[in-house]
């Protein structure tokens, strides 16, 4: 009787000791979950023109569900492969940041009206094109929004339109394009005046002949 009893007790002990190990054993197909990689997908930077001044309008959105990003400071890096300009955009709040900054080399007055443009300088009373003052930013450039992560975005200098041109207007030429007049107006006016003088002279001769009769 004793032998079967002790055998059953031993079996029960083995089962009891093995149960916890079996309970905590990982299945063979278990795959650990990796944190989601943060991204700036959907963020933008666009060149716009307002009051003849060039601006960069930006919208930065950080998607980071597992809090993996190591920074909330956003900046915009512009380069042409040789030159580089870094523009500080600001601090993201709840993963978002939007606003606008002046294009490198541009300036405005208190009313927001343009007073300077990249690639131009005011010399001897008129605006002239120069190789400096961020002229390179008006060409083929690459722009990257950086937070950590980063995102390359399309960006180009705002093109001129009838409503807004992010370029200087020299006093000697500004009034002519506005009316569609060109330098040919002067000679045309002179020719018209000469024709008028000839007509008046002919009319005077006719009147004198009539009076003699």
Q: What is the domain-level CATH number for residue 49? A: 2.60.40
In a domain, 65, yes or no: yes
Res 137: pLDDT: 98
* Domain count within the chain: 1
Collapse the DSSP code of 54 into the 3-class scheme (helix H, G, I; strand E, B; otherwise coil) and give the result.
strand
In a domain, 53, yes or no: yes
Phi first, then psi: give them for residue 146, nearest 5 degrees. Answer: -120, 130
In a domain, 58, yes or no: yes
- Cα 129 from Cα 133, distance rounded (Å): 10
pLDDT tens per residue across span 76-116: 999 999 999 999 999 999 999 999 999 999 999 999 999 99
The β-bridge partners of 100 are 57
In a domain, 109, yes or no: no
Mean pLDDT calculated for residue range 120-128 = 95
Binning pLDDT at 50, 70 and 90, where does residue 169 land? confident
Q: Domain containing 63: what range?
A: 44-104+136-158
Classify the C-alpha dihedral 170-174-175-177 as positive or negative. positive
- Cα 160 from Cα 48, distance rounded (Å): 10
Mean pLDDT score of the chain? 79
């Amino acid at each position: 009787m004793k032998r079967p009893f002790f055998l059953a007790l031993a079996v029960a002990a083995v089962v009891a000791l093995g149960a916890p190990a079996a309970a905590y054993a990982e299945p063979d197909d278990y795959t650990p979950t990796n944190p989601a990689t943060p991204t700036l997908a959907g963020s933008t930077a666009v060149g716009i023109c307002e009051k003849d001044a060039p601006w960069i309008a930006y919208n930065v959105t950080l998607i980071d569900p597992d809090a993996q990003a190591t920074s909330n400071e956003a900046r915009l890096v512009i380069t042409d492969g040789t030159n580089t300009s870094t523009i500080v955009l600001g601090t993201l709040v709840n993963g978002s940041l939007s606003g606008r900054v002046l294009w490198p080399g541009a300036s405005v007055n208190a009313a927001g009206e343009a007073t300077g443009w990249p690639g131009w300088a005011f010399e001897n009373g008129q605006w002239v094109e120069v190789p400096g003052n961020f002229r390179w930013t008006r060409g083929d450039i690459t722009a990257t929004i950086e937070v950590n992560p980063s995102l390359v975005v399309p960006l180009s200098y705002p093109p001129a339109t009838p409503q807004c041109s992010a370029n200087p207007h020299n006093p000697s030429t500004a009034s002519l394009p506005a009316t569609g007049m060109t330098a040919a107006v002067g000679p045309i006016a002179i020719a018209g005046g000469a024709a008028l003088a000839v007509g008046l002279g002919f009319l005077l001769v006719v009147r004198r002949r009539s009076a003699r009769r």
